[in-house]
A = this chain, B = another copy of it.
């Protein structure tokens, strides 16, 4: 059928727009380069809650309420929510959205989940299964450190290849109703495993998946890297970025002139001591809401390939000495007059 493009991609027949976006972050993100563009910056990272996990839920809830407010929509207009986070069994999402009384599709693609949620949300709207759907993701530095590495109180040192999990959430409302940014297509990612086992160098684990999805997108849509004003990965960081450039070059595509990584934009890594850059489900979602979409809305960028990247590890698989597979989902975003 016409909507299927190439091996892994979809071109949406019916236009789907991102009609509203909102982001909420912790204080460190507010002090970074995007600080002034973030809709709501918390005074501390607890958001009035007793635990880091509940704080993450509160951030999701706040982002969801803000995106509705900005769109002028009531919650009852949202047909489905597509959402996820990094915590085991998605508890930030379950507890964050449980009061909303809206049907929920829980998603997990590690830090690629923002791409997965936008893809499924857009497919749902384009097919006529819902007039308005919400896509959202979150992460929290402290809940993620506790989940994946060690609780903050241990005071562990961090190698330079490590990234800093973003405390934040981005929420998006998708609809067929006209907006300034259109989701015109998507390339769904495969699990790609190069055998990386260093959980403190996730950029290296995710770069092969990002390369796979970007190259497949270019082939499926018969485009060159220059057909995009920017190719934007989620959270490869400075180490993963160089690997991505090398891997895409090996496939015959030079992307370094118009490649950007959300993890390298959300913090000033030298001043803020974040090493390789930002990461987490919140990293690409917050950067999309605060930085990428406004530039697309204004027409500064006409067409962007947005590729959130995920490292599919757990503490159990890591302790059992398994590798860290990666996955990345690509979303084509276009400026509309």
Taking Cβ atoms with an 8 Å cutoff, the residues of A that contact B are 1-4, 8, 10, 50-51, 53-54, 79-80, 84, 86-91, 94-95, 97-98, 100-110, 116, 120, 123-124, 126-131, 146-147, 188-193, 312-317, 320, 322, 325, 327
Contact = CB atoms under 8 A, between A and B. Distances in A.
A2 B131 CA distance: 12
B120 A316 contact: no
B316 A4 contact: no
Contact of A188 (B98, B103, B188): B103
A145 to B, nearest CB: 13
13 contacts: A3-B128, A4-B79, A4-B130, A50-B320, A84-B108, A86-B89, A88-B316, A89-B110, A89-B313, A90-B312, A95-B317, A103-B190, A107-B108
A89 B123 contact: no
Contact of A190 (B101, B315, B317, B320): B101
Nearest to A124: B123
Contact of A317 (B53, B80, B107, B313): B53
The 3 lowest CB-CB distance pairs between A and B, nearest first, are A88-B88, A127-B127, A103-B188
Nearest to A86: B89
